[in-house]
Amino acid sequence: MTVRKNQAALTADEKRRFVAAVVELKRSGRYDTFVTTHNAFIVGDTDDGERTGHRSPSFLPWHRRFLLDFERALQEVDSSVALPYWDWSTDRSIRSSLWAPDFLGGTGRSRDGRVMDGPFAASASNWSINVRVDGRTFLRRSLGTAVRELPTRAEVESVLAMPTYDTAPWNSASDGFRNHLEGWRGVNLHNRVHVWVGGHMATGMSPNDPVFWLHHAYVDKLWAQWQRLHPGSGYVPVAGTPNVVDLNDTMKPWNDVRPADLLDHTAHYTFDAA
Amino acid sequence: MPELSRRRALTAAAALATMAGVQPAVAPTVSATEHGRHTPASFDEVYKGRRIQGRPVSGGAHQHHGGGYAVSVDGVELHVMRNADGSWISVVSHYDPVPTPRAAARAAVDELQGAALLPFPAN
C-alpha cells in the first residue's frame, strides 16, 4: 500500500529515488503528457461553460485521479516511490529543505527566473521545458516574489471549518469548502501557492515544475482532513447540473471514473499522519 | 492506455485548436449571462517595449472560451479567460486574477521578461 509522506520527513534515499523516477518519466516523454493534459483543462474549464479540472466541484476528485495516474507512472519506474506532500502552512520559507539542491532545487536567479541548482536546473540537462508558450526552455521560479506569504495554519483551519463542500453556481464565484480551498474566493489557499512559487507554477503549464505534485498532494490531503471533520457532508452537486460533474457523472479525460469512485483515498493510498 | 492517450490527445488538440483560432467541430456555447455582461473596450499600447492589444470578438471562427475577447502580445494571441466576478487571467498567469484584460496582458509581458510568445501550438 502506498503511503504518502510529508516531504520534510523523507530520507535522503527516498528523495533520491523520487527525483530519479521523475527524471526518468521526463526522459521517456511521459512526463510532458501530464503537462499537456493539465494545460488543456486549464484553458478549457470556464465559469460559464463546461468545467472539470478547475473552478468546479470536480477540482478535487479530478486532481486526485490526475495525481494517481502520475504516481502509478512513477511506480512503474520504481515501485518504492510514493508522492510526497508539501505542507506549505508549515514549511513556509525558501530555506525549507524542500528547495535544497538534493531535492527540488531553489528559487530562480533574479535576471530571468532560471533555477540554477538541483536536479531540475537547466544546467543539469535532464529537464527541458517542452510544453510551453514561449521560447524559454529552462525551469523558472521566483519564490515569494509575486505574493509574499504562503497560507498560514490558521487560514487553512478557517477553510477546513466550512461545512458545505460546494455551492451553486459551482464555479469560481461559489461559497463553500472547495472554492475557498481552490482559492478563487476568501483567504486563498491553492491558487496563492501557485503564485508564491512563480515561474512555470504560475502558468497553465504548472506541472512543468515537479513541486506541482507535492502541492497538489497536500491539497488532496486537506480534502481528506475536511472529510474527517465533516462526516455528514458529501460531494455536491449530486445530479442534473449542466456543465458540471455531478457525483455519479464520469470525468474527462478518463471517462470511466466518477467523483463517487474517488471520495475514499484509502483504496489507493494512506498518509503518514492525520 | 493507448485509448486513454488518444482521448487526452484529442482533448488537448481541441483546446489548442481553439487557442489558434481554428474552430473545433463543436463550438463552445455562450450563455445568456455572458452575452449580457459588459465587455471591456479595445486597447492598443506599447508596454515595456511590447505591443499589447485587446478587442472584443464575437461568433464564428473567433469565439473564445474567455467569453469573446482576444488579447495579443506583439501580434501573437495570448489565451485569456474571464472569471465569473469579472476579473481576468491568462495562460501565463493563471492563478492570479487581475481586474481587466489590459492588466492580464501587462502581467503576461512582465512574466515573459522579453521572451516572444509562441503561436499555439508551436512546441
Domain tally, chain A: 1
* Partner B, chain A 213-252, Cβ-Cβ below 8 Å: 252
For B105-114, the pLDDT digits (tens) are: 999 999 999 9
For chain A, list residues with pLDDT below 70.
Answer: none
Gap between the Cα atoms of A119 and B53, Å rounded? 39
Query: Which pLDDT value is given to residue B37?
Result: 62
- Contact assignment for A47 to B82 by CB distance below 8 Å: yes
Q: Which of A131, A134, A173 sits opposite B116 (nearest CB)?
A: A134
**CB-CB contact of B78 with B91 (8 Å):** yes
Q: Which of B88, B95, B113 to mutate to test the interface with A (most CBs of A within 10 A)?
A: B95
Residue A98 lies inside a defined structural domain of this protein? no
User: Pick from A25, A58, A44: which is nearest to A257 by CA?
Assistant: A58
| Closest B-chain CA to A140 | B111
What is the pTM for the complete model shown?
Answer: 0.90
Q: Which of A171, A205, A253 sits opposite B11 (nearest CB)?
A: A253
- Contact assignment for B84 to A48 by CB distance below 8 Å: yes
Gap between the Cα atoms of B43 and A9, Å rounded? 51
Residue A128 lies inside a defined structural domain of this protein? no
For B89-122, the pLDDT digits (tens) are: 999 999 999 999 999 999 999 999 999 999 865 4
Architecture of domain B46-112: 2-Layer Sandwich (3.30)
Residue A10 lies inside a defined structural domain of this protein? yes
Extract the C-alpha cell encoding B23.
Answer: 474552430
* Partner A, chain B 32-91, Cβ-Cβ below 8 Å: 33-34, 65-67, 79, 81-85, 91
Q: How far is the CA of A3 from the CAs of A17, A71, A210, A217, A226, in angstroms?
A: 15, 11, 19, 12, 19
Query: Which pLDDT value is given to residue B119?
Result: 81
Query: Which pLDDT value is given to residue A144?
Result: 98
Query: Which pLDDT value is given to residue B19?
Result: 40
- Contact assignment for B123 to A41 by CB distance below 8 Å: no
CATH number for the domain spanning A177: value is 1.10.1280.10
Any residues with CB less than 8 A from the CB of B54 and at least 6 apart, and which?
A: B40, B42, B43, B44, B69, B70, B71, B72, B101, B102, B105
ipTM of the complex: 0.94
Residue A103 lies inside a defined structural domain of this protein? no
A34: exposed, middle or buried (Cβ count in 10 Å: 0-12, 13-18, 19+): buried
Mean pLDDT of B23-46: 60
- Contact assignment for A194 to B5 by CB distance below 8 Å: no
Q: Which of B12, B97, B120 sits opposite A133 (nearest CB)?
A: B120
* Partner B, chain A 7-66, Cβ-Cβ below 8 Å: 33, 36-37, 39-44, 46-50, 55
- Contact assignment for B65 to A255 by CB distance below 8 Å: no
Residue A143 lies inside a defined structural domain of this protein? no
Query: Which pLDDT value is given to residue A196?
Result: 98
Gap between the Cα atoms of B27 and B23, Å rounded? 7
> Which residue has better confidence, A241 or B26?
A241
Query: Which pLDDT value is given to residue A123?
Result: 87
A215: domain range? 2-93+148-267
| Closest A-chain CA to B107 | A146
User: Pick from A172, A175, A181: which is nearest to B81 by CA?
Assistant: A172
